[in-house]
Structure 1
């Protein structure tokens, strides 16, 4: 459940995860939203060749869209 525009909604789309602010991680870093946290943790984990950071973020964002849909589909079955 997420709070958006003073309404509580079920987090069933990628936009919900992009709209919700995130809590600090264990390194006390604060991200704008859950989506940014996932992408930045991916960039921490994988070594991205210099100059490809923007492309890596774009690919991760696209993958996140699909993963949220897949997660909800799997939860229903």
Structure 2
């Protein structure tokens, strides 16, 4: 992931690429990007053994967001 593209960005930045407006050329570019992502392999293997974040109740789910105390309905 430390390799750089011709524009100087890292390959990690390519992971964050989002879809563009609907056009045939954008579709082909997105399809090429998805093929590149598939070639990275099974991402579940990367996080195997990594603990999930724990919420307040210890369930891994942070639960519903609370309104700030200064908020008055």
Asked if TM exceeds 0.5, the reply is no
Higher strand share: 1
Give the structure-1-normalised TM-score: 0.27
Higher relative contact order (CA 8 A, sep 6+): 1
Higher helix share: 1
